[in-house]
Amino acid sequence: MTYGTVQYSESAGTATITLNRPDKRNAISYELIDDLIAVLKKAAASPAQVIILTGAGKAFCSGMDMENLKELTGRSDEQNLQDSVTMASLFRTLYDFPKPTIAAVNGAAIAGGTGLATQCDFTLAVPEAKFGYTEVRIGFIPAIVSSFLIANIGEKRARDLLLTGRIFGAEEAHRLGLVNEIVPPERLMARAQELAAQLLENSPASLQATKKLLSSYTREQLDRQVAQAVQGNAGIRQTTDFKEGITAFLEKRKPTWTGK
């Protein structure tokens, strides 16, 4: 089966998933979300025991697709809620994936791209990689990723990143614990393959049981938090600030906030 926005391959026990919209800096479109969920299900059922997630071109994932952003301000309450449920499903599928996952972050990973990169069990990044939970800068909220971020780095640090919406580099991401290793660009995929080979030396049954156990520690809390986040994600789209933020972003101007 072929996919319009991702590439999938398997070799020597490893499946590689490549976000394949290089002309759009691998921005998250509705099609990409559907393709990525589908390909993750395929990888889960495959003989591959380790998954590598990376991006084609110079970016890992630049966040929400601009064409889809244009549509958001005109969607109904029901559509907004379904969008939020689908996005939550993507992040939860990656977080709870039964096999070890490695993100090979080859460039910018912004907003939802940061979420994808840091949901993996291991995150490798090139020195030039950039990260950021930039949603508040366009009147949105980083609702769904917030629960996972707090679990990774703690509430105080998460508040800094989520409330400022600032961009931060690979070194800071490494210090915060969001990135495991910083790797030269020419070594990124080779290092990901080396890590995959190390994981393949372990018992597949033990790896999957360990992942299942780790997920079980936070499942009930995440269920509650993600359910709240879905509602918040959908609800913010009805605000004046959200509509102004999206419009200003698309028009490349500073927004005029009203707080409504």
Beta 167-169 vs 130-132: how paired, if at all?
A: antiparallel
Distance CA 184, CA 198 (A): 20
Q: Is 135 a catalytic residue?
A: yes
Is 115 within 8 Å of 144 (Cβ atoms)? yes
Angle CA(90)–CA(170)–CA(128) in degrees, nearest 5?
Answer: 100
Beta 109-110 vs 122-125: how paired, if at all?
A: unpaired
Two structure tokens written together for 60: 């890992």
Catalytic residue among 31, 135, 186, 201: 135
Report residue 97: phi and psi, to 5°.
-55, 135
Is 130 within 8 Å of 169 (Cβ atoms)? yes
Distance CA 248, CA 13 (A): 46
Could you tell me which residues come within 8 angstroms of residue 209 by beta carbon, excluding any fewer than 6 positions away?
none
Could you tell me which residues come within 8 angstroms of residue 115 by beta carbon, excluding any fewer than 6 positions away?
91, 144, 145, 148
Running DSSP on this structure, what letter comes out for residue 237? T
Is 5 within 8 Å of 38 (Cβ atoms)? no
Beta 50-55 vs 14-19: how paired, if at all?
A: parallel
Catalytic residues: 135
